[in-house]
Structure 1
Amino acid sequence: RLFISGSVSFRTGLQATFCCRKRSDFLQFNNQKNLAKFRGPGPDYYLKNYEDDIVRSDIALDKQNGCKVANHPDIMLELQREKAASTQLVLLKEQLSNIYSNITITARSLDKLYNFVDCAGLHLIFGINALHRNPDNSWNTSSILSLLKYSAGKKYNISWELGNEPNAYRSMVGRAVNSTQLAQDYTKLRTLLQSVRYYHRAHLYGPNAGRPRKNAILLLDGFMKNAGSVVDAVTWQHYYMDGRVNKVEDFLKTRLLDTLAEQITKVTKVVNTHTPGKKVWLGGLGPAWAGGINNLSDTYAAGFLWVNTLGMAAVQGIDVVLRHSFFDYGYTHLVDQHFNPLPDYWFSLVFKRLVGPRVLAVRVAGLQRKPQPGRVIRDKLRIYAHCTSYDNHNYVRGAITIYIINLHRSRKKIKLAGTLRDKTVHQYLLQPYGTDGLRAKHVQLNGEKLLMVDNEFPELRPKTLRAGRTIAMPPMTIGFYVIKNMNANACRR
């Protein structure tokens, strides 16, 4: 039996980074529309030949022009896909070799990026290079002020972050940045933002520490002690497993799913020690580090980790979760090389359509087996509940959305009890599509394969379960259930 009671309000976000977070620490801004004339020798994988070959076919999004999508010949669109695929290989090679080239972003490229974000209704958080340093190891701000002034002149609504996993700099480039120096760098960046009128109240996030093990926790502790008041939210990253794991069964281990709660506890303890009540964001999330796992991190199986992360983070009070990534090296993408949605994209879409920011407590009867001495009983049936998203006009305020992860290898039945018993339920059951099982890269919703049609999202049609009917969860699946016309007091405010 399932009971739902009480409410705790959290603002849960769901965002995704656009490219490799690690590459932000090798990025420079040049206030030129096109760098072709100024580009010197050496590898420049992001920009070399890009603007000459592709700019004519770029989707010229511009909010001032109504965000219209330009029509281009198929051959030009294919060129974009080829460029994306080749860039991905370069990124993967750099990741494996741990040798990175500097890159430059031009004013034209920044314009394209911002216009895309603005037209898509997203918010851009720009990761600034923290590894551009002076001989005394202080942070070099030579190109940052130019970037800020250019963006301010365009009235670009941007938030900012400095560096990526600073605790790993020594292993990556042989140069360490300690917590004291990083705190000084963030203080300097805040001063620069305040010196540019348009950004004097801009949001600043950090320090984007890595998975909270010993070195990362020490860095975070020192940073919060010296600069905790400088940032608007504390960011950190979590990866569930080693990239060398190659078994689909590893994605079903409950002890693996539970590691996130342990990491959240470590981070919030440090943050609350120095700045009680400071917002904490999960600033980077992936199924596995080292680029993920081919034919696993981009399949249905990874969705168990992703959906569990969203539920657990909300319950633990994490305000925002940022997901790796639309396009990147490795295999943790939300889209494939042809920009078709992968399973985690569909999970994200259904989540955003149905799940609101207000979290509800869940009480379950008859779920746990009787504990045995020396044995930890872990839940293979995970149930989370929120108020249904107010942005979904198919449901009136007061509706409740439950999402369930069934890690059992057998079907499980859930009976709604109490005031939920006589309510109509809309089912959104997500299962792998095709013969690959949990390794599938396609998803079906209530038995229908999800596909983009003419660059448009398909209609997410629910299956109606009559009042009082038992919810039957097939083995190793994920389902969202909206309890209509619930008129829950906690969800009407």
Structure 2
Amino acid sequence: MSLLLLLFLLRLSGGLRFTRDPGRVPSDPGWNTTGSGSQLVTVTADLTSIIHRVDPRFLSVTIDSSLGTEESFMYLLSSQKIRTLTKALTPSFLRFGGTRQDFMVFTPQRKHLETSGVAAAPSCDEVALPSWLEDRLKKEWTTQQLILMREDAQRKYRKVKFTELTVDLLNSFSSCSGTDLIFGLNALLRTDDNSWNSSNARSLLQYCESRRYAVSWELGNEPNSFVKKAGIRVDGHQLGKDFTRLREMMSESKFYHGAGLYGPDVGQPRDHRIDILEGFLQSGADAIDACTWHHYYVNGRDTSLEDFLDPEILDSLTLKAKEVLRRVKTASPGKAVWLGETSSAYGGGAVGLSDAFVAGFMWLDKLGLAATLGLDVVMRQVLIGSGSYHLVDDNLDPLPDYWLSLLYKRLVGPEVLKIEAVSALGRSKRVRVYLHCSNTKSYSSGALTLMSMNLSKKPAQISAPALVSSGTVEAFVLQADRPGEEGLYSRSVKLNGDVLEMVDDKTLPDLKGVRLPPADHLQLPAYSLAFFVFTDARAAACHDHRHLR
């Protein structure tokens, strides 16, 4: 490194950097400490101000509406295990939607009851799914997913009738897990003049109001694909008018007049999708509380392991997000923008990749980059539903991305700071970092959490920012349960050397960090994801949360 470059980096960081090295910790995770062949990355950060503050429910989850294609599968939401796992990810939104929401028709089977006559719902402790029934449903759901995937491939979708039971089970799951439910309504119910037929939605809202269910709403899923799915074309301007009609319906309700409404859930911007978004914003921006769009990096049917580790593919989110943010800002300044549905690969995910350890690089990078760019909520497809990008497996056990999400929730606060990683070759591409104030439920005000990932097969050394050099650092390093490239396909993950798994259906393991001894560098093993918490940073930006740059 030249003297001029060194002086420039020192000026950016405000002084010399003292760094730390985890070395061998008591649990002996086997982190590389030799530095042999490793890349040195220097991190600079501005700790005086925050560049964005995301919604406290920033990391949120979805339940794919495919779960409701046979109403009996909704009982899986009564599983103690899935409720335990979901509650641990709060605060969060819980979106019920997806491709099949636009084929679902509410078909009541019992008279709507007045609020005064509604029987009390069973307590959360009383709603327990018998083990024999859970085992049977899980087995049958595995078969059902194959049927659904075949329908997706053929683009042949059938109308699905659902009753009050689906709504009751969703509400029970949402309220008992502590999430905020968003229900996706069918936008393909159209009148002769191609406007939205709101009568079925009105019936559903009336039932939910009679039960006092706390629900927010969406209307339609990926309107850009309506022609392919159903041979129906709805332009953006008409869609905005449909949302305005829904908002009017909600305003007429004593219970839902203040509820959230989100949309249009359009696919990532290109071609006619931009026209749909712009037309929608012109006629419907005032009706919504946040503008939602969907993002996937690659096609799940023809992607590869290399794609999941490709920095250029990860960087592609920037261009897409900036395009949506720019158009929303122009049409409706101040309107929040959300990733209303997102994961690694579209088409249901990539088998053997989207549910494996390697998917964590796309997921953590998306969380870090989305917050930095100014998106307020990111809804992960999918907690449970058809496809290969689940957070839980067919036995409802957590997959690697679940554990990554859980650590994010516990360690990362909503305040985003500016940070950059530089190697001898310039901006680091394979060592990627993001910086937030720490979650104040876990750490004192002023603490910082550094999110980092190493996409390379070689270890890396990170020099930490100057102002956090002298205090305590806690490390949470995630690696596959097998070394090298083989481990990238793993469906298990180690935290600081120990494989993570539930203790029982009601109990998650302790997610403890390792306190690092003073040393020269933070070590980031090959193919690893890590959170480093600087507990004594006393960062000015994290003390004064009123100051936004």
TM over 0.5: yes
Tell whether the 8 Å contact from 1:423 to 1:468 is kept in structure 2 after alignment: no
Deviates more, 1:3-12 or 1:378-387: 3-12
Matching of residue 483 in structure 1 with residue 534 in structure 2: yes
Question: Displacement, 1:248?
Answer: 0.8
Unmatched 5+ stretches in structure 1: 35-61, 371-376
Deviations 1:297-341 (A, max 9, x none): 111111111100000000011000001001222211111111011
Relative to structure 1, the CA distance from residue 169 to residue 72 in structure 2 (aligned partners, 3 Å threshold; closer, same or farther) is closer
Matching of residue 449 in structure 1 with residue 474 in structure 2: no
Question: Displacement, 1:71?
Answer: 5.4
User: RMSD value over aligned CA atoms?
Assistant: 1.9
Question: Displacement, 1:273?
Answer: 1.5
Q: Within 2, Cα distance between the matches of 1:191 and 1:73?
A: 42
Q: Within 2, Cα distance between the matches of 1:194 and 1:441?
A: 46
Matching of residue 219 in structure 1 with residue 258 in structure 2: no
Q: Which amino acid aligns with 1:478?
A: L
Q: Within 2, Cα distance between the matches of 1:487 and 1:211?
A: 39
SS in structure 1 at match of 2:44: strand
Deviations 1:97-123 (A, max 9, x none): 111111122112211111111111101
Deviations 1:82-111 (A, max 9, x none): 232122222212111111111122112211
Aligned to 2:423: 367
User: Higher relative contact order by CA 8 Å / sep ≥ 6: 1 or 2?
Assistant: 2
Unmatched 5+ stretches in structure 2: 1-41, 66-97, 112-118, 545-549
SS in structure 1 at match of 2:504: coil
Q: Which amino acid aligns with 1:24?
A: Q
Relative to structure 1, the CA distance from residue 305 to residue 421 in structure 2 (aligned partners, 3 Å threshold; closer, same or farther) is same
Q: Which amino acid aligns with 1:356?
A: G
Q: Within 2, Cα distance between the matches of 1:24 and 1:70?
A: 26
Question: Displacement, 1:30?
Answer: 2.2
Relative to structure 1, the CA distance from residue 418 to residue 280 in structure 2 (aligned partners, 3 Å threshold; closer, same or farther) is same
Of 85, 89, 103, the residue aligned with 1:26 is 103
Matching of residue 2 in structure 1 with residue 2 in structure 2: no
**Aligned ranges for residues 74-473 of structure 1 at < 5 Å?**
74-364=131-421, 366-367=422-423, 369=425, 379-392=429-442, 395-434=443-482, 436-455=486-505, 456-473=507-524
Aligned residues: 457
Tell whether the 8 Å contact from 2:468 to 2:536 is kept in structure 1 after alignment: no
What is the percentage of aligned positions where both structures have the same residue? 37
Tell whether the 8 Å contact from 2:52 to 2:372 is kept in structure 1 after alignment: no
Deviations 1:204-247 (A, max 9, x none): 10110012111111110111111111111000001101122342
Matching of residue 16 in structure 1 with residue 16 in structure 2: no
Question: Displacement, 1:77?
Answer: 2.2
Tell whether the 8 Å contact from 1:91 to 1:328 is kept in structure 2 after alignment: no
Deviates more, 1:307-316 or 1:240-249: 240-249
Q: Within 2, Cα distance between the matches of 1:328 and 1:298?
A: 13
Tell me which stretches of 4 or more aligned residues in structure 1 moved more than 4 Å. Answer: 62-66, 69-73
Tell whether the 8 Å contact from 2:157 to 2:229 is kept in structure 1 after alignment: no
Q: Provide TM-score, normalisation by structure 1.
A: 0.89
Relative to structure 1, the CA distance from residue 94 to residue 401 in structure 2 (aligned partners, 3 Å threshold; closer, same or farther) is same
Tell whether the 8 Å contact from 2:298 to 2:346 is kept in structure 1 after alignment: yes
Tell whether the 8 Å contact from 1:2 to 1:363 is kept in structure 2 after alignment: yes
Deviations 1:234-269 (A, max 9, x none): 000011011223421111111100110000111111
Tell whether the 8 Å contact from 1:167 to 1:216 is kept in structure 2 after alignment: yes
Relative to structure 1, the CA distance from residue 363 to residue 331 in structure 2 (aligned partners, 3 Å threshold; closer, same or farther) is closer
Q: Which amino acid aligns with 1:8?
A: I
